[in-house]
Amino acid sequence: MKFLNNLKKIDWVLVGALAMLSAMSLSVLAPYDSSFFSKQIIWYAAGFAIIIFGSQLNWRWLLKWPVFKYGFYVLSVFLLLVSNIQSHVIRGSRSWISLGFLQFEPAEFAKLGLIFLLASFFTSKYLAAWRSKYLFSSLGLALVPALLTAIHPDLGSSIIIMSIWVGFILVGGVNKKRFFIGLLVFVVAAVLVWSFFLKEYQRERLVAFLSPQSDPLGINYNVIQAKTAIGSAGFWGKGYGQGTQTQFHFLPEAQTDFIFAAFSEEWGVFGDIVMLLTFLVIFYKLMDIGLRAGSNSFKFLVFGGSVVLLVQVVINIGSNVGLVPVTGITLPFVSYGGSSILTIAILIGIIQHIKLESSR
């Protein structure tokens, strides 16, 4: 009975947005492979189950349990190592672990592991987070999974992992001197990543970003097709199943990396506005829940989850319209992919639990 009472208190704004955006995204998956539809339905069903189950777990107790907060992080790092040494390569990257019937991205779970560990770390060191030893300790915790994902190579996940650390640092309070030191460290790290970790095609993508009209049939082909799909849609779009760039497969990876362009072509500016407003509502609710959370550890968990969602939305949509380089980041709730859906579902389940506890 207590479970049912708590279930009624769950903020269905987040869950409703999840269902609405997922239903919209399915319309552009079918032309590529009908199996996408059934697989995605399974992932969403699993996601809903995780949200409901996760909202009932005692996360305060779990985060105080060292085996959980350290074990999840260590396990995620171990899985990243396994994916780096396995021989199975998918689309030029070792970002997936294949179990035959199932493939998953350990980088997605590394985001969770880092959020759990840094939430505990910054809660205990909240007033001293900007001291050098704690600053570099937390940086080290983030660099381990970030570098392992960069080796895959998976630049997008590396950026998100480092964004989680930056988000925690900013929430913990900004020390101007050390902030500029951090920027210097970032520049040095960027140079090292460019020189030793990025593959040639990744360097080409970054260079192509600065020259968007060059090599239209090569490295810039994807972005040009995405811009064409978005720009030709008009206000109301071309209608379901009528997007030429999507239906005739000119737009690559329409179910994942360029899902926003595929959606925009068929639903137009009106659909884009609805989608963006929905994301704004989600972020507003997340911030509200975070500010009302009863403990610093819960605040950090909510803000950590918010950073993941925000950065993924900005990178995916930004890359579709040519504002940021293409890094292969999925659009939360919308893109096809089980690992991403389950990770976001876990984060929302945690945030729903925090919402429930704060309202008692």
DSSP symbol at 312: H
Tell which residue, 107, 105, 114, has the closest CA to residue 73: 114
Query: Percent of the chain scored above 90 by pLDDT?
Result: 11
Instruction: Specify the range with the lowest mean pLDDT, choosing from 34-38, 138-142, 180-184, 247-251.
Output: 34-38
- Region of residue 98 (phi > 0: left; psi between -120 and 50: alpha; otherwise: beta): beta
Q: Which residues of 111-139 are buried (b: 16+ CB within 10 A; e: fewer)?
A: bbbbbbbbbbbbbebeeebbeeebbeebb
**3-state SS class at 130:** coil
Cα separation, 275 vs 21, in Å, equals 7
Give the pLDDT mean for 61-74.
84
- Residues with Cβ < 8 Å from 119, sequence gap 6 or more? 63, 168, 297, 300, 301, 304
Distance from C-alpha of 318 to C-alpha of 323, rounded to nearest angstrom: 5
What's the token pair of residue 245?
Answer: 């760039």
What is the residue-averaged pLDDT of the chain?
76
pLDDT for 172: 67
Query: How far is it, in rounded angstroms, from Cα 348 to Cα 290?
Result: 12
> Cα separation of 65 and 126, whole Å?
19
Distance of CA 104 to the CA centre of its chain: 14
| Beta bridge partner(s), residue 146 | none
In 3D space, the residue among 171, 169, 196 whose CA is nearest the CA of residue 182 turns out to be 169
User: How confident is the model over 123-151, as pLDDT tens digits?
Assistant: 877 666 667 677 788 888 998 999 888 88
CA-to-CA distance for 25 and 318, rounded, in angstroms? 18
Q: What is the mean pLDDT of residues 53-79?
A: 85
Q: What pLDDT is stored for residue 215 in this prediction?
A: 53
In this prediction, residue 168 carries a pLDDT of 86
pLDDT in the model for residue 319 = 84
Mean predicted confidence (pLDDT) in 286-290: 89
* Token digits of residue 132: 């050098």
Q: Counting beta carbons within 10 angstroms of the beta carbon of residue 286, is it exposed (0 to 12), middle (13 to 18) or buried (19 or more)? A: buried
- Specify whether the CB–CB gap between 310 and 286 falls below 8 A: no
- Which range has the top average pLDDT, 49-53, 246-250, 327-331? 49-53
Q: 156 falls in which pLDDT band (50, 70, 90)? A: confident
Name residues whose C-beta falls within 8 Å of residue 80's C-beta, 6 or more positions apart in sequence.
106, 107, 110, 145, 148, 149
Instruction: Give the amino acid at 47.
Output: G
44: nearest Cα among 63, 24, 61 = 24
Strand-pairing partners, residue 93, are 90
Task: Specify the pLDDT at position 236.
Answer: 85
The predicted-structure confidence for 173-230, as pLDDT tens digits, reads as follows 666 666 676 667 667 776 666 666 666 666 666 655 555 555 555 567 777 888 888 8
Q: Do 233 and 253 form a contact (C-beta atoms < 8 A)?
A: no
Least confident window among 12-16, 30-34, 87-91, 302-306? 12-16
Report the 10 Å Cβ neighbour count for 101. 5
Q: State the pTM of this model.
A: 0.81
The pLDDT of residue 282 is 87
